[in-house]
Amino acid sequence: MKTIYENILEQAWAVGQGKRGDLSEELASDN
């Protein structure tokens, strides 16, 4: 399992890559 810190890093990277839509979908499915 990933730590919260690792998830934050991946999310920040995804946003930086312009994948904000995909990131939002992943967050929605996690919650």
Which pLDDT does position 14 carry in this prediction? Answer: 79
Say how far apart CA 31 and CA 23 lie, in whole Å. 13
What is the model's pLDDT at position 15? Answer: 79
Residue appearing with tokens 């991946």: 10
**What confidence score (pLDDT) does residue 5 get?**
95
Measured N-to-C along each axis, helices 4-16 and 20-30 cross at an angle, to the nearest 10 degrees, of: 150
pTM: 0.42
Residues 23/11, Cβ–Cβ less than 8 Å: yes
Give residue 4's pLDDT: 94
For the chain (length 31 residues), average pLDDT per consecutive 10? 90 76 64 51
- DSSP designation for 7: H
pLDDT score for 19: 61
